[in-house]
Amino acid sequence: MEPVPLQDFARFLDPASLPRVLRIYSGVYFEGSIYEISGNECCLSTGDLVKVTHIHLQKVVCENLGTGQTLELDPNFQGHFSPLTNHQSYRTLGELVSATTQSPTQLPIFFMSTHSILVDARVVPEDQPLLLEAVDTHLGMRCARCVLDTESQRVVMHLPLTLKGPFWQWEPGAPRSLLEALQDPALQDLIFTCPTLPWSSLVLKPLYELQAIMHMRRTIVKIPSSLEVEVQDVTTSSQHIHFIKPLLLSEVLAQGGPFPMSAEILEAPEGPSIFLSPWVGSLRKGQKLCIHGLASPTWWVLASSRGHKVPRHFLLSGAYQGKLRRRPRDFPTAYDLLGAVQPGQPFRVVVTKDCEAGTADDPESCSLAVGDRLEVLGTGQVHGYQGRDQDVLVCQRLNEQAEEEEEEEAGENEEEEEAQERLLLPLYLAGSFVEELNDSRRYRLADLMTQFLLPCEVKVVAKDVSQSADPLASFRGLRLEEKVTEPFLVVSLGSEPEVSFAIPPRWLDFTVVESEQGLGQPAAVPPVITVEELTDAFYYRLRKLPACANQAPPPRPPKSKGLRKQLKQSSEKGDSEPSQSFVQPQLPLLPKSRANTLLVSSCNDYSQISTHRKGKSATLPSQATDSLADDQHDYEEILEQFQKTI
């Protein structure tokens, strides 16, 4: 096929013959030029191959040849167009009128002149179609009444029949619909008339959009037919050409196969690494891959090592086959104890730090000592400060007598009820508790996730035999923190097909291309690495995800009554008046020697006063710091003594 303009190829293309392969023959493009049309980018260079898959008529532009005005029509326009064909030339306008009246063709007719016409101080350009409506007498002369379309209106002119030409007559053809007028090759570049439109003559210019596939482009290319480029149809001679379409790993996951898929890395992963595994460094440009499919199960567990100064972080697959044993959990506050309570399961802890328990308004607050055993029963509410209900943790203190009676008999008597003490712990209580655990069973990870809540303390007591090296067995303990539900793809390297690993396309996405030649992978999927060590940056990135950040912060303790009363009194005095407790005394101006003597004596007196007070600091700055927490202070007394000394 000879090269043709892209507009002509699109206009006479039969959609049933798609797809068609085109070669860009010539154009007016500079190197690296990009056309941005309606948000679509397309860069065409001479020699490029384009596989056209769809064609769509966007709009039709109608142009008035005389004025250059344009009008856009929708492809569903219902008007009819009659083509005007060039029939015969005449030397004068009178011969044209005489031939018209003798022929079956009646007025009006279309004609044009091959040179410009000057009439009534108006110039009619050459090749401008005119509509001859009738012949009448104007200013005592036989004239032809003609209509000329201008930019703003229709102008009626009277041309004398003696006007010399040559003139060409245009004969209207059979009415056609818009699509028929565009698809007929015989009507190309003809002048049409349409009674529905305001112009007597016009030219149709359709605009198409071609959807095509180009080599090494990930998305469908949309090419407008108005680009001034010539193309050549090479569909017959290009049956062996394979158009390579790059894919992101996330797109491979979204399209769902077909698996297994042989692929090659076009662009290696960018940015900081998320895994510390050696296979991450093998993901480089040109590396062969085999994508086996979706990893099963689709959930993972985020874990951190315990017992090391610098913890290490791991991502455990749900298919991990190692054996785990539960370890006692540590709880820094009563709020953490509440989060570990499971309905129907006993939960006991041991106090490891002395602390004061009880509500803020309970004067008979109980104290917890190291070694106290508590059974957590659940949550409750008490009447708190200013009439507000306060959430508390209901616990029961256990003693040795109760423990012995539980071992001897299951029933409870009155003496046991009196021996057991019920405690109400505020949720903001900062204590230290360790879970009392008597569970020596060994669990698999899947069983552990279904029976217990996270976070959970465990110890790996048996390695995963499916892995060559299990790093979790060397740690004194692990803290299972969060469950991560995210689809992973099982991938193996072409250089090491016996080992496969899981890649999360959401966090490790890169570009691959499907390879025609397989890598000779075995029918069964090789063992998948079930433990991946994470970098610190990626670990904290996971912890900030909405799925992980589902725990509310613990409640803040209420302010003490004394401090509230003091702030209320100071606010009643006015914002501009400072509190007398914090007013610094103004020292009088004294001679230098006199001032040194008085300052030394005043410091000695202050040290005596502060020494007299038990448990108080001997320096004024620390005394001011303790005032925020001490309700019964006597700073006024100290300042008075200080002023008297001066």
- CB atoms under 10 Å from CB of 147, counted, come to 16
For a pLDDT cut of 70, what percent of the chain falls above it? 73
Average pLDDT, the chain: 76
**pLDDT on residue 315:** 93
Query: What does the DSSP 8-state code read for residue 547?
Result: T
State the Cα angle at 218 between 215 and 224, rounded to 5°. Answer: 75
User: Is residue 585 within 8 Å of 599, Cβ to Cβ?
Assistant: no
Using CA atoms, how far apart are residues 371 and 397, in angstroms rounded to an integer?
11
pLDDT in tens, 395-449: 888 876 545 555 555 444 444 444 567 888 888 888 889 999 888 899 999 999 9
User: Is residue 517 within 8 Å of 315, Cβ to Cβ?
Assistant: no
Enclosing H/E stretch for 644: helix 635-645
Q: Model confidence at 361, in pLDDT bands (50, 70, 90)?
A: low
DSSP secondary structure letters along 57-115? EEEEEEE-TTT--EEEE-TT----BEEEEEEEEEEEHHHHHHHHHHSSPPSPEEEEESS
Residue 622 has pLDDT above 50, yes or no: no
The amino acid at 418: E
Residue 197 has pLDDT above 50, yes or no: yes
**pLDDT on residue 35:** 54
Using CA atoms, how far apart are residues 385 and 561, in angstroms rounded to an integer?
9
Using CA atoms, how far apart are residues 252 and 270, in angstroms rounded to an integer?
18
**pLDDT on residue 551:** 57
Residues 6+ apart with CB under 8 A from 476: 306, 307, 459
**pLDDT on residue 349:** 92
Using CA atoms, how far apart are residues 24 and 35, in angstroms rounded to an integer?
15
- CB atoms under 10 Å from CB of 496, counted, come to 12
pLDDT in tens, 301-334: 999 998 777 899 999 999 999 999 999 988 888 8
Long-range contacts of 603-609, Cβ-Cβ distance < 8 Å, separation of 24 or more: 605/641, 605/642, 605/645, 606/638, 606/641, 606/642, 606/645, 609/638, 609/641
**pLDDT on residue 304:** 93
The amino acid at 620: L
Using CA atoms, how far apart are residues 395 and 379, in angstroms rounded to an integer?
9
For a pLDDT cut of 90, what percent of the chain falls above it? 14
Long-range contacts of 519-523, Cβ-Cβ distance < 8 Å, separation of 24 or more: 519/262, 519/288, 519/290, 519/494, 521/260, 521/262, 521/290, 521/292, 521/492, 521/497, 522/497
Residue 51 has pLDDT above 70, yes or no: yes
pTM of this prediction?
Answer: 0.58
User: Is residue 461 within 8 Å of 472, Cβ to Cβ?
Assistant: no
Q: Which residues are paired to 117 by β-bridges?
A: 124
Using CA atoms, how far apart are residues 334 and 374, in angstroms rounded to an integer?
12
Using CA atoms, how far apart are residues 443 and 115, in angstroms rounded to an integer?
100
List alpha helices for 171-257, DSSP H: 178-183, 249-255
Tell which residue, 6, 15, 45, has the closest CA to residue 179. 15
